[in-house]
Structure 1
């Protein structure tokens, strides 16, 4: 039954519909005779356990020829018996699928080395219901046996209608819009509108009217200029606004979820004129369809309807020119909106088949409306690699606590993180960290467990640092580079044991890159992501050691927090030998004495509560990303997409110390490219101190006279220095401390802000505080 994914499509089967089976969870699906499902792991090491039932509810394991595998869902049973929150979540799912835990003995166990696996329903089996489980025990912070998601690809018969995604709740309206048509529907204040692309690559134009105004004969609709003005956007951009307003500057709709991320917010719905100008006279258009559908509501026809163009992939050049290409949306992708008032809405399934707007083949749109009593979390999609299913924004283990302290959140690397806290604000949070102690949620950091005989050899090649010099219990900060010398990422490497490491970084793609590198080299190594099993709080500031040493218990064989050295870690428990397991590292991103405390996400609230309660005696404050930016810029610490990208090498990013070119004799990725570069020609990362307090920003050009010599990478008002400061990448001849330069704004010439170069870091240049 084992085969590669590209061998799956048998004669007559439709393209696969993919689903993600999350770690420690289950999904249910139905196969008709002739249809098949392929199960494979995102990384090696994850098993799958399967229950199969025929139309009479009897086991179909025999008929599906699965009896050659190990019998019994032993790992699922172990997860349930552990009694942890993950067990309760899985048990609730199984009950929803009408599965009794006693039936798990009739399941089959597919070991990691038995994946990928293809299961085919036959005439003998008839229609079958499958329950697929990706089971596993919770990983403790000092363990590396993580649980991973599985990728499920289902291949249906061509005549089967593509399955819509499961409803988010019980719909109050279910409206199907055949291709090349439009429909009108009423939505009450507070109700939720889900617009679904059924088959993928299909645009859907959307317009809305204030129902009360329309009843009075006034057409109050979504307004592009009002929406852009309130959002602070001069022009539409590919994407969606968080709120859409009418001409009275009042919000009509809120965007709550979006699985695509690529739309046009306010071009016209396609018009008869567009098709006529292209020579397609009489071609049906969304505008004509809207005019017909709205006639019964007394709405006057228009030559073109301003609309939100859902799933329409516009390309906007720097000069403002608008182009377009095939949509990014895939089968089942959707947007979820919430109505701020009673609305009359109209949605289309665009008929455009003369260009790539609908992938050259218009298909259907489906609309679901949910009652106002429901609650759906805000989320937008991202993808680590283009071909995978969308990943919606997640909440960290500490969100239930931080959300009680603030409503100011931003999306970072697929998670919601607080930007500042109500009652404190960025300045107060900053001062708490510099003078007392602060706690911050850094859970979006990606964690990868790297184990095996070749783990050290792989990391010695992948990272710039000399990994062979790293002792067990020690941590090192390193860059990772492409062969070009440009940076893949930066991060910290923990040596857990002789053949086991943990790489903690910012970019989730780092794991993909490491797996590809290991495959190219033929290394015997396992690389598995553990982010979902390991969340972390940063506890930073002069009082951080005193705070944590009273909370963390360690066995005699482990280093106590009070003696933990810089860039080392220890293992302990919260409050005593029976407390929740923790890992504590002497690391941070603030330039202050500080630690990071790592736990399983299900233990997050208990950890936060303990730190928060004990911290009150030490002046503890929460710390958001706005304050963190001030702290890390003063400390000269770099940030992805500001100080470095894939075209910036570690020297230019200001972390040349991570490249021990003389003492690391072995080759590493990017070494040859870095050696070819003359040190005298490298741009340098320096500090800038502005004379005034006018703000400067990432991307501002730095000049000597009319000559551009550098660019601002990050900037902040500095409470420490009482001035605006910046990190800046400059050409080497202008990098000496004291060099006088100017930051150009407007066109770079009409407005200049005087500045002087200063050596980094601005704060604690000898790193005395962080080492104390």
Structure 2
């Protein structure tokens, strides 16, 4: 059910990003709340926002992707213990995708970890309170490190012309920044970390602004550099990120799945010789096999006018409940309705059905296991 005219009341409890005024200036129409911050959802034309992302260049306020900074003699020890992925061998200036679990092996975040120095890391988090978690773990284990949220707000520059945009702004050297590599730099005295990363499959950069008072200056500088390439304001695009196998914590799993159910096996280091939170539970699950799997499926029916707002029940061919369609949207790439569904291992890989909030029954045909194409 869509509630026409519903508004989110703005207030001090939910934070605005350093780029917020630029979003309003460019016609922001939809927001969501992510890590206790407003995050843009759309500027009123999702189809054009998709085209800009896959054909040109799109500028995103992703400041809600907050950082947990860990610094001090035991900084690595803490990051290694809370991460299900082994961080040993990681070099300064590099990034690793590092799922994190609780003691039951349930995924509680899937951040990037940036290594700024041998004793300094940023955990670039998805939508859950990892600052509180990391602080608690550090204190309980008596680790000598400081855990806090720094003044760091990422700005995304995504799409096939992202390199051209950033090269015009900073110089040709940006083209040599490797994937999941970063460089500390500045423009017009605006300090930021330039990282080749982003929540799309189209390539690009994230600019980790290190001075919140210069947010509008950085936005305007990037916008000016990208105008000749058709830059467009946008936001993380649900249909494109499903097409590109990019996971959205909480949206895709309801904060109640393991990384093995999601399909993140290659990012979980179960052969490590050291301990980490969730290791015993994950080893047990690996031995018996995950009970559910996250799958991508094509759905029948008319083109969805908008993305789904809540999970839909999934049932097997025999009518038995088998899980949930977590998110669904129209896919321009596949010219079909597309969904991510968390379903039983017995049903995963085959057809199932789902029922929309309006009561329409849709058939789902298996497209791929998530993250395993």
Is this a same-fold pair by TM over 0.5?
Answer: yes
C-alpha distance in 2 between matches for 1:605 and 1:746? 40
Matching of residue 687 in structure 1 with residue 296 in structure 2 = yes
Query: Can you give the 5+ residue segments of structure 2 that lack an aligned partner in the other structure?
Result: none
Correspondent of 2:311 among 681, 695, 699? 699
C-alpha distance in 1 between matches for 2:182 and 2:3? 44
Distance 1:694 1:513, change over 3 A: same
Matching of residue 586 in structure 1 with residue 208 in structure 2 = no
Correspondent of 1:473 among 64, 89, 93? 93
Normalization by structure 1: what TM-score?
0.45
Deviation at 1:551, TM superposition (A): 1.0
State the match for 1:452 in structure 2.
Answer: 72
Cα distance per residue 1:270-302 (max 9 Å; x no partner): xxxxxxxxxxxxxxxxxxxxxxxxxxxxxxxxx
Matching of residue 603 in structure 1 with residue 214 in structure 2 = yes
Deviation at 1:759, TM superposition (A): 1.2
Deviation at 1:553, TM superposition (A): 5.3
State the match for 1:546 in structure 2.
Answer: 164
Let me know the Cα RMSD of the aligned residues: 2.5
C-alpha distance in 1 between matches for 2:82 and 2:140? 12
State the match for 1:612 in structure 2.
Answer: 223
Does the 8 Å contact 1:541/1:592 carry over to 2? yes
C-alpha distance in 1 between matches for 2:13 and 2:4? 25
Query: Can you give the 5+ residue segments of structure 1 that lack an aligned partner in the other structure?
Result: 1-228, 234-240, 243-254, 257-377, 380-390, 555-559, 767-772
State the match for 2:276 in structure 1.
Answer: 668
SS in 2 for 1:419: strand
C-alpha distance in 2 between matches for 1:658 and 1:520? 26
Correspondent of 2:40 among 393, 399, 418? 418
Does the 8 Å contact 2:262/2:370 carry over to 1? no
C-alpha distance in 1 between matches for 2:68 and 2:319? 47
Does the 8 Å contact 2:324/2:341 carry over to 1? yes
SS in 2 for 1:756: strand
Does the 8 Å contact 1:553/1:573 carry over to 2? no
Deviation at 1:231, TM superposition (A): 4.5
Q: For this pair of structures, how many residues does the alignment match?
A: 366
Does the 8 Å contact 1:486/1:649 carry over to 2? yes
Correspondent of 1:755 among 364, 367, 371? 364
Q: Deviating runs (4+, > 3 A) in structure 1? A: 229-233, 694-698
Does the 8 Å contact 1:636/1:727 carry over to 2? no
State the match for 2:342 in structure 1.
Answer: 729
State the match for 1:353 in structure 2.
Answer: none
C-alpha distance in 1 between matches for 2:26 and 2:60? 12
Written as runs of structure 1 = structure 2, the 5 A alignment for 1:119-138 is none
State the match for 1:524 in structure 2.
Answer: 144
Does the 8 Å contact 2:324/2:342 carry over to 1? yes
Written as runs of structure 1 = structure 2, the 5 A alignment for 1:220-369 is 231=3, 242=7, 256=9
State the match for 1:95 in structure 2.
Answer: none
Higher normalized contact order (CA 8 Å, seq sep 6+, divided by chain length) = 2
Correspondent of 1:567 among 147, 170, 180? 180
Distance 1:230 1:588, change over 3 A: closer
State the match for 1:497 in structure 2.
Answer: 117
C-alpha distance in 2 between matches for 1:545 and 1:597? 13
SS in 2 for 1:567: coil
Distance 1:568 1:746, change over 3 A: closer
Cα distance per residue 1:519-567 (max 9 Å; x no partner): 111111111111xx1112110011111110121259xxxxx31101111
Structure with bigger gyration radius:
1
Deviation at 1:230, TM superposition (A): 9.9
Deviation at 1:419, TM superposition (A): 2.2
